Amino acid sequence: MVFALAGNQNCGKTTLFNQLTGSNQHVGNFPGVTVERKEGVIRSSSGDTVVDLPGIYSLSPYTSEEIVTRDFLIKHHPDGIINIIDATNIQRNLYLSLQLIDLHIPMVIALNMMDEVRANGGTIKLKEMAQELGVPVVPISASKNEGVSELISVALRVARQRQAPARMDFCTGAVHRAIHSVAHLVEDHAERIGVPPRFAATRLVEGDEPMLESLALSDNEKDMLEHTVTEMERESGTDRKAAMADMRYAFIEKLCADCVVACHESREHARSVKIDTVLTGKYTAIPVFLGIMMLIFWLTFSVIGGALSDLLSAGIDGLTGLVDAGLSAYGINPVVHSLIIDGVFAGVGSVLSFIPTIVVLFFFLSMLEDSGYMARVAFVMDKLLRKIGLSGRSFVPMLIGFGCSVPAIMASRTLSSERDRKMTILLTPFMSCSAKLPIYGVFTMAFFPRYRALVMILLYVGGMAVGVLCGLLLKNSAFRGNPVPFVMELPNYRLPSPKSVALLLWDKAKDFLTRAFTVIFVATIVIWFFQTFDTRINVVENSADSMLAAIGRWISPLFAPLGFGDWRACTALITGFSAKEAVVSTLAVLTETSVSQLPTALSGLFTPAAACAYLAFTLLYTPCVAAIAAVRREMGGVKYALFVVLFQTGVAWIVGALVHLVAMALL
């Protein structure tokens, strides 16, 4: 059997999904974390699956999340629905529940965070609520795994017995007559498309255009529908949408009055309000955010991450020396010896040494995310983002872009406006992804060892600044108009879950290792081959005579104005298109140096001014091929992907040239 897991944003849905399935899903404490549908097998069941749907507030098809959820429920006909509700905010959550009940699918309500309700002096009469709603109600605490086993048992029983909601009618008066009249009018059409007549009727009364198109009513039936709705509006004294909302909330208020003993203000909420006076204050929010990020960068690149990376580099160098000595003693073929030492160990090893830096950075970012602070940052950034034509909701994909551009581009699906979505996709690659950290690390170690953290901060801030300028350009040219209004629920501050943080760090490390031993490994071997052989496939004594040198010399004039006309520096940029980490591995192969010696080799290849320009260019030029493929998929055309490549590379060249001129004057 297949179950749909549905609920509002930030109600603990993904946490419950993890508990139901044992799946290693990351849990984030900000709205919109579930971008795509996730699926997993329910533990202790015989192959039954649960589908984690995006968090929504209603089934109205306005946002991409609502469309995804609604389409799955209507078209895939799940065997049951598990509707998770935040018990601390039950009135708002029940609005979606009433719409789900209209679908007439076997359903169970999971009242989450009941531990918080009890701790704050509240209670909920479960039997009375279940009777009023006509569906089973199970109290749980997903984060503590309380009540989850009982929830699984009830959900399986309800689905196997095909126990549809016992009550469907929550309305009275004019709305009641309108819904029932429309239900009789469209009954045969609704059955034809596999939708309950009452659900179809409520959607039509609310003015749901996609439902109207699906039912394919005749002109006469459409006239009767509009006449019925007009009568309802006249009698109720309000428009169709407000009348339906009033009907649902009237029932919810009565239900809560009968079944819910309200709890007093929780300690978590009171504490969050006090903290927000500083973290979201008018004059303190942005300085505090910048201060927190500077502290994170300093700890990551100068204290913890930098020290661990240096230790790992020394270990890799030691292993390289042992393998080198072993191969020499064995008398292996010189070409194979070069492939292993100068290719694999120099290329892949130079990238692996930065795993500690990346893990440490994501540790701090996941702490901010899971604590609820990132939701505040999105709220604070809304005013600034509106100046470049975006809403605060675009901040979430851009934030994810600091990890990887691919999921960040996919996360733009949560934006309801097509204009906002496309602008966000085009600007997200300007956010410096984690794959560029090895480049920054090597160059700062070589040229700015005393100011590594400061240079890192300037790079990240520089990427955001260029993104802002490009946003202003797009806002006043290709994407004229205003962003949609931004509404966000700020969750209470919570202590991050150790399991959630550990899973995120493992995912990032695993992803980095996978890339190191697949994409970067292959790129390293290809680079070694082109550097070792000439066009006649003869081994060259000097890499300047290789095929790679010929390719590099052909493009090097383009980068001469930026200060790095050397063919090796230019060639590394080409391989960076496959994966940004490959820039470092390519430079290691081309300079024939070990991990720890690479910074010294680079100091002979670049001047400090050229190094600044190179950092600026790698910060901004075209994202990797996986990100470009994501742009093509999300924006629906090769032309957009090509535009991103050309636009970003052009911006990178201009900024790199300007940085080179300024650096020459200052350094």
Strand partners, 2: 49
- Contact between 602 and 587 (Cβ < 8 Å): yes
User: What is the tens place of the pLDDT at every residue in 637-651?
Assistant: 788 889 989 999 999
pTM score, whole prediction: 0.69
pLDDT of residue 27: 46
Q: In angstroms, what CA-CA distances link 116 with 143, 202, 263?
A: 11, 34, 9
- The residue out of 130, 160, 190 marking a domain boundary is 160
Q: Are residues 214 and 301 in the same domain?
A: no
Residue 212 lies in a domain: yes
Contacts of 194 by beta carbon, 8 Å cutoff, 6+ apart: 74, 77
Q: Does position 445 have pLDDT exceeding 60, yes or no?
A: yes
Between 4 and 415, name the one with better pLDDT: 4
**Cα–Cα nearest to 144, from 117, 115, 111:** 115
- 32 pLDDT band, cuts 50/70/90, is very low
- Do 414 and 359 share a structural domain? yes
Provide the pLDDT for residue 356: 86
pLDDT at 30: 36
- Residue 566 maps to a domain: yes
Q: pLDDT tens digit string along 217-229?
A: 999 999 999 999 9
Whether 473 maps to a domain, the answer reads yes
User: Locate tokens 């950092």: which residue?
Assistant: 615
Last residue of a domain, one of 261, 296, 320: 261
Residue whose pair of structure tokens reads 């895939």 in the numeric block:
76
Neighbouring C-alpha atoms within 13 Å toward the C-beta of 374? 24
Domain co-membership, 180 together with 214? yes
Q: Between 342 and 583, where is the model more confident?
A: 583
How, if at all, do strands 2-7 and 80-86 pair? parallel
Asked if the model's pLDDT at residue 484 lies above 70, the reply is no
Last residue of a domain, one of 227, 261, 295: 261
Res. 34: pLDDT tops 50 = no
Q: What is the 3-state secondary structure (H, E, C) of 389-442?
A: CCCHHHHHHHHHHCCCHHHHHHHHHHCCCHHHHHHHHHHHHHCCCHHHHHHHHH
Question: Under 8 Å CB-to-CB from 50, ≥6 apart: which residues?
Answer: 2, 3, 4, 5, 17, 20, 21, 39, 40, 42, 82
Per-residue pLDDT band for 585 (boundaries 50, 70, 90) equals: confident
Look over the chain and give the mean of its residue pLDDT values, rounded to a whole number. Answer: 85
What CATH number has the domain bearing residue 41? Answer: 3.40.50.300
Looking at 193-197, 300-304, 606-610, which range is the least confident one? Answer: 300-304
Average pLDDT over residues 93-102: 94
Residue 473: its pLDDT value, please?
86
Same-domain status, 339 and 436: yes
pLDDT band at 344 (very low <50, low <70, confident <90, very high): confident
Whole-number percent of the chain with pLDDT over 70? 95
Give me the pLDDT at residue 313, please.
83
Long-range contacts at 470-474 (CB < 8 A, ≥ 24 apart): 470/426, 470/427, 470/430, 470/647, 470/651, 471/388, 471/389, 471/390, 471/423, 471/427, 472/387, 472/388, 472/389, 474/389, 474/423, 474/426, 474/427
Model confidence at 29, in pLDDT bands (50, 70, 90)? Answer: very low
- In degrees and rounded to multiples of 5, residue 50 shows phi and psi of -125, 140
Provide the pLDDT for residue 349: 77
467 shares its domain with 602: yes
Confidence of residue 365 (pLDDT cuts 50, 70, 90): confident
Question: 499-544, pLDDT tens digit by residue?
Answer: 778 877 887 788 778 877 777 788 778 878 888 888 888 888 777 7
d(CA 657, CA 617): 9
Same domain? 75 vs 202 = no
Residues 316 and 183 in one domain: no
How many domains would you assign to the chain?
Answer: 3
Contacts of 585 (CB under 8 A, 6+ apart): 346, 347, 348, 350, 351, 520, 523, 524, 527, 575
In a domain, 360, yes or no: yes
Residues 135 and 21 in one domain: yes
167-to-129, 148, 237 alpha-carbon distances in Å: 12, 25, 27
pLDDT at position 651: 94
- For the chain, give the number of residues: 667
Say whether pLDDT at 550 is over 60: yes
Q: Does residue 270 lie in a domain region?
A: no
Residue 488 lies in a domain: no
Q: Note whether residue 629 is domain-resident.
A: yes
Region 264-281 average pLDDT: 84
Q: Please, how many CA atoms are within 13 Å of residue 587, restricted to the half-sphere of its CB? A: 28
**Residue partners of 342: CB distance under 8 A and separation at least 6:** 528, 589, 592
CB contact set of 629 (below 8 Å; sequence gap of 6+): 641
- Round to whole Å and give the CA distance between 71 and 453: 47
User: Domain check: are 427 and 476 in the same one?
Assistant: yes
Average pLDDT of span 239-257: 92
Q: How far apart are CA 481 and CA 422, in angstroms?
A: 13
Q: Residue 26: which pLDDT band, with cuts at 50, 70 and 90? A: very low
Q: Are residues 305 and 404 in the same domain?
A: yes
Full domain range(s) for residue 26: 2-160
Indicate if the pLDDT at residue 42 is higher than 70.
yes
**Do 532 and 652 lie in a common domain?**
yes
Which 3 state secondary structure label does DSSP give 43? coil
Which of 416, 425, 422, 417 is CA-nearest to residue 68? Answer: 416
Between residues 366 and 463, the one the model is more confident about: 463
CATH number at 257 reads: 1.10.287.1770
Task: Collapse the DSSP code of 603 into the 3-class scheme (helix H, G, I; strand E, B; otherwise coil) and give the result.
Answer: helix
Amino acid identity, position 592 = E
Query: What is the arithmetic mean of pLDDT over 266-278?
Result: 85
Q: Are 73 and 3 in contact (CB under 8 A)?
A: no
Q: Is the same domain home to 205 and 150?
A: no
The share of the chain scoring above pLDDT 90, in percent, equals 31
What lies within 8 Å, CB to CB, of 516 at 6+ separation is 348, 351, 352, 581
Calpha distance 77→319 (Å, rounded):
57
For residue 550, being part of any structural domain is answered with yes
Does the pLDDT value for residue 37 go beyond 70? no
Whether 572 has a pLDDT exceeding 50, the answer reads yes
pLDDT at site 424: 87
